[in-house]
Amino acid sequence: MSSVSRLGYLVLLSGGIDSATALYLVRRNAARCSTLSILYHRRNRREAEAARAIAEAAGVEEHVELDLGFLREAVDLGAQIRAEVESHGAPLTLIPFRNLVFYSVGCYCAWIRGLDRVVAGHNAEDSQLFPDVGRNLLSSFNELVGSMLPWRRVEVEAPLMGLSKLEVVRLALELGVPLELTWSCWKEGEVHCGVCEGCRKRKEVFRELGIRDRTEYAE
Ligand SMILES: [Zn+2]
Provide the CATH number for the domain around residue 146: 3.40.50.620
1 pLDDT higher than 70 = no
Q: Specify the pLDDT at position 4.
A: 59
Comparing 22 with 214, which gets the higher pLDDT?
22
CA of 36 to the centre of ligand 1 (A): 24
Pair 160, 95 in one domain: yes
CA of 172 to the centre of ligand 1 (A): 21
* Residue ranges making up the domain that contains 194: 184-219
Of 13-17, 34-38, 111-115, 125-129, the poorest mean pLDDT is in 125-129
CA of 218 to the centre of ligand 1 (A): 9
CA of 213 to the centre of ligand 1 (A): 14
CA of 125 to the centre of ligand 1 (A): 19
CA of 71 to the centre of ligand 1 (A): 23
CA of 116 to the centre of ligand 1 (A): 35
Please state, in angstroms and rounded to a whole number, the distance separating the CA atoms of residues 62 and 113: 10
148 pLDDT higher than 60 = yes
Pair 95, 151 in one domain: yes
pLDDT-derived band of residue 216, with 50, 70 and 90 as boundaries? very high
CA of 3 to the centre of ligand 1 (A): 37
- What residues contact residue 143 under an 8 Å CB cut-off, 6+ apart? none
- pLDDT mean over 62-89: 95
* 199 in a structural domain: yes
CA of 186 to the centre of ligand 1 (A): 5
* 178 in a structural domain: no
Pair 164, 188 in one domain: no
CA of 192 to the centre of ligand 1 (A): 5
CA of 211 to the centre of ligand 1 (A): 19
Instruction: Say how many Å lie between the first and final Cα of the chain, rounded.
Output: 40
* 168 in a structural domain: yes
Q: Specify the pLDDT at position 39.
A: 95
169 pLDDT higher than 70 = yes
CA of 200 to the centre of ligand 1 (A): 7
Pair 110, 195 in one domain: no
Pair 208, 146 in one domain: no
Q: What is the pTM of this model?
A: 0.93
Pair 105, 196 in one domain: no
Greatest Cα pair distance, the chain, in angstroms, is 54
* 177 in a structural domain: no
- What residues contact residue 169 under an 8 Å CB cut-off, 6+ apart? 17, 21, 179, 205, 206, 209
